[in-house]
Amino acid sequence: MNLILLGPPGAGKGTQARRLSDKLKVPQISTGDLLRAARAEKTPLGQKAESYMVSGRLVPDDLVIAMIGERLKKEDCRAGYILDGFPRTLPQAEAFEKTSFKNSSKVGRVVNIQVERDEVVLRLSGRRQCGGCGENFHVSFHPPRKEGVCDRCGKGLIQRDDDREDVIRRRLDVYEKETQPLIAYYRGQGVLRDVRGTGSIEEIFGEVLRAVE
């Protein structure tokens, strides 16, 4: 099954996508993680993406569409995948619908994780992310067992360069303008389910599972 997780930055898409991936045994594909890896490796794509990412703007559609097209061709996507952070604009959603890079035929379900703006700012300003597996923690709300170390894979935690308050607000503005229209787009197709993104990670996961079943 192909799943899309929608929601503002900080809604918990990555956290829930990783849990879904473990449970459903299909890969979690995060365009943010792919772009951060490209930046770390200093590939041409990573170098082009950098200035957009550090300032909280979207990387141009053509670059992201080409990147995800390559990823979805891989063997591990045959049985399905969970998209986290893609599509983020209507042209991306339309490209995803039209092109043959979608291995299995249709978007199965879109889960829209809902979180208020002020809550997002609180969450992202205290967020710490694992440099290895990408798991997210929060200095107050979800601290790791050992400070600075990922509970899941043991690698070090970092603060993302776009988790600064001014950049967070820019990312939220971009989300509202560019990505929110996708809610109506997928609702119109009858594939969207809303999930409240507040509560414990496990409670939200329960709701996400109900939404995809």
Query: Could you list the residues that contact ligand AMP (CB under 6 A)?
Result: 9, 31-32, 35, 52-53, 56-59, 64, 85-86, 88, 92, 162, 171
- For 118, the token pair is 């002020």
CA 27/CA 24 separation, integer angstroms: 9
CA 53/CA 64 separation, integer angstroms: 12
Nearer to ligand AMP, 6 or 210 (CB): 6
- Residue 98 catalytic? no
List phi, psi (to 5°) of 96: -65, -40
- Residue 19 catalytic? no
- Residue 57 catalytic? no
Residue 66: other Cβ atoms inside 10 A? 12
For the CB of residue 69, give the shortest distance to ligand AMP in the complex, in Å: 12
Q: Which of 13, 18, 36, 109 is catalytic?
A: 13
Query: Which residue is at the shortest CB distance from ligand AMP?
Result: 32
CA 135/CA 170 separation, integer angstroms: 23
Nearer to ligand AMP, 73 or 210 (CB): 73
Catalytic positions are: 13, 88, 127, 160, 171
